[in-house]
Amino acid sequence: MRPNLIHPSFATVASCVVGLAVALAPALARANDYYVSPTGTPSGDGSMGAPWDILTAFAGPASVGPGDTIWLRGGTYTHAVSIMRDAGCVFPLTVHGAPGAPVVVRGTPGEEVILDTGAPGGMSVVPGVCVRGSDVTLRDFRITSSSTASRRGEDGPFPADIALAEGLGVFAARVKLFHLIIDNQANGIAAFSGSNDLEVAGCVLFDNGWLGVTDPTTRLPVPFPHGHGHNIYAQNSATSARKNFHDNFLAMPFSNNIQAFGSSVAELAHIDFTGNVVIGPGASVTFTDGTALFGGRTGAAGDDIHVNDNYVFASTIQLGYHESDVLVAIEAVRNVVGRGSLSAQYWSMVTATDNVIVAGARACVMLTPRTGATGIPYPSWTWDMNQYFGDCRFTIEGRGPPNITYAAWRAGTGFDATSTSVTNVPSNLVVVRGDGLSADRGSVVVYNWEGLDSLDVDAAPLVAQGWGAGDTIAIHSVIDYFGDVVTQTFDGSAIHLDMDAASHTVAAPNGWGGPLGESTFPTFGAFVLVRTASALPDTDGGVTTFDAGATDDAGGAPTDSGVRADAAAATSDGGGG
């Protein structure tokens, strides 16, 4: 079993997060517990014996105050409504806490909690859950839709014939979203400028969006169908606190995995996108590659964006969109991009360093100079110390043919002076992470370039947070979170992972007729691990069962202990390193 190497920055972050959690815990301690049930009523008092219905609880009863917790009991919550655009949402949430003492809305441990947004009318932009109360933490439940209506409809942002809700819209300050699962929505999470100081961590989003196939006016088929709907949509103003998206799992949307997008009236500033797993649908899908996009329309203002330490497969990190003179600074550092691309354009300052990119169907790097620019396109950028593997090709738009060599790329840009490019693929990379939000969760990311049928993965970060021999572990493959789950008894040191493609499936979006994308196996696998029971006896001599994804609400990043092995370079194509 090859040992996993701890990335120094991950270990440092983990120790800081633990200290932060301890410091904040007293301030965030729960004051009162209230309960909600699918069979609850408005006349209940929120006790376990007389729970509220979900709409009553979300409206903020007078008895609920800062620091309180609203527990959602297991079952499926529905609200059959027909709402047109800008006229409300399926599950409006207006309860609010106070700075440092949020109201926590969470699923009950060990119970499956589902908010079914259904098919709420004739416009897809109706939010499923709209968070309008500040200082709220939502965690440990699923937002999905049972609707099986077709995912093919009008080609535009407001289709009249796609009735899905937009999963979760955040319109208030200091909201935290932890361990949510959001799927089969028109969009996953929409975080607009008003959602100041937002944190999204440990969430799983997949199969969100639709395909535009008909012209809204003529009703005729469009020549080139477009994917619409993203797993995450984000904006943030220059005067707002940071938005932090970290350690999430984003897979196979109909459009982008994240669209952090500015315009002339909505800024793009102070956003961290770190430690996330980003999975595209694969080369056979022509209408999207599940891009992680950070840019905007002409005139969009942007600054202080950090796209770091992410794990990408069959997708693109795109820095920039339309040409703009007010895009200031963005960085993409220490990302791993397997069979995908890094694309950049129009920012005044880009820092792209220490990235690992392994060749796929498209160019490894794509660069678009400003209109009319001559000579070196972006002399102020810092682009170096990257590692390129496989048959990497490079494209400088408008500067000769596409897919140029590494040597021609360096000559045309002045970039990558000390980077390396080799024709072989790297050795395997395995990333094992604990979870600072719950001692009973963890994750594994595998780039299986060696094509192994199975792996025994060093589980030291999980042992460090209390996992022991005999514990029961549920291993969820991210590309089919509910359909591809294996239960394993932990041996106390390693997690066994089957990487054979025949052992895995891909989730099929409702109303689509089959999987949206290709299997990532055997080359890549992303797994969420949930400890469901411990072999340690409780005080009654029985088996201790666990929260399956919830601990104290102190926030903070999942403990990223580890495990990024440095890719080894072989013979260099061109100079540098």
pLDDT class for 454, splitting at 50, 70, 90? very high
pLDDT class for 182, splitting at 50, 70, 90? very high
Q: In 3D, which of 462, 451, 458 has the Cα closest to residue 528?
A: 462
Inform me whether the pLDDT recorded for 257 exceeds 80.
yes
d(CA 89, CA 84): 9
Give 27 or 518, the one with higher predicted confidence. Answer: 518
> Over the stretch 47-82, which tens digit does the pLDDT of each residue have?
999 999 999 999 999 999 999 999 999 999 998 776
Inform me whether the pLDDT recorded for 5 exceeds 50.
no
Do the beta carbons of residue 269 and residue 326 sit within 8 Å? no
Mean pLDDT of 152-174: 90
Q: In 3D, which of 77, 71, 73 has the Cα closest to residue 34?
A: 71
Backbone phi and psi for residue 416, each to the nearest 5 degrees, phi listed first? 60, 40
d(CA 465, CA 546): 13
> Over the stretch 91-121, which tens digit does the pLDDT of each residue have?
999 999 999 999 999 999 999 999 999 877 5
Give 399 or 105, the one with higher predicted confidence. Answer: 105
Q: Between the CA of residue 326 and those of 128, 332, 345, 482, what are the distances in Å?
A: 34, 19, 13, 43
> Over the stretch 465-477, which tens digit does the pLDDT of each residue have?
999 999 999 999 9
> Which tokens hold the place of 245?
């998206």
Name every residue whose Cβ is closer than 8 Å to that of residue 265 and which is 6 or more positions away in sequence.
Answer: none
pLDDT at position 537 is: 55
**How many angstroms separate the most distant Cα atoms in the chain?**
76
State percent of the chain over pLDDT 70: 85
Q: Report the chain's mean pLDDT, rounded to a whole number.
A: 87
Question: Measured in whole angstroms, how far is the alpha carbon of residue 176 from the centre of its chain?
Answer: 14
Mean pLDDT of 198-214: 97
pLDDT at position 543 is: 37
Inform me whether the pLDDT recorded for 376 exceeds 90.
yes
Inform me whether the pLDDT recorded for 86 exceeds 60.
no
- How many residues does the structure list for the chain? 577
pLDDT class for 487, splitting at 50, 70, 90? very high
pLDDT at position 83 is: 60
Inform me whether the pLDDT recorded for 124 exceeds 60.
no
pLDDT class for 262, splitting at 50, 70, 90? confident
Inform me whether the pLDDT recorded for 142 exceeds 90.
yes
Mean pLDDT of 330-358: 97
pLDDT at position 56 is: 96
Mean pLDDT of 211-239: 95
d(CA 415, CA 350): 12
Give me the half-sphere count of Cα atoms (radius 13 Å) on the Cβ side of residue 477.
22
Mean pLDDT of 189-216: 95
Span of 71-80, 261-270, 352-361, 440-449 with lowest mean pLDDT:
261-270
pLDDT at position 560 is: 37
Inform me whether the pLDDT recorded for 414 exceeds 80.
yes
Span of 37-46, 170-179, 347-356, 397-406 with lowest mean pLDDT:
397-406
Q: What is the 3-state secondary structure (H, E, C) of 124-181?
A: CCCEEEEECCCCEEEECCEEECCCCCCCEEECCCCCCCCCCCEEEEECCCCEEEECCE
d(CA 535, CA 350): 50
> Which tokens hold the place of 415?
């970039």
d(CA 255, CA 166): 14
> Over the stretch 556-574, which tens digit does the pLDDT of each residue have?
333 333 333 333 322 233 3
Q: Which amino acid is at 410?
A: R
Name every residue whose Cβ is closer than 8 Å to that of residue 49 and which is 6 or more positions away in sequence.
Answer: none
Q: In 3D, which of 341, 302, 293 has the Cα closest to residue 321?
A: 293
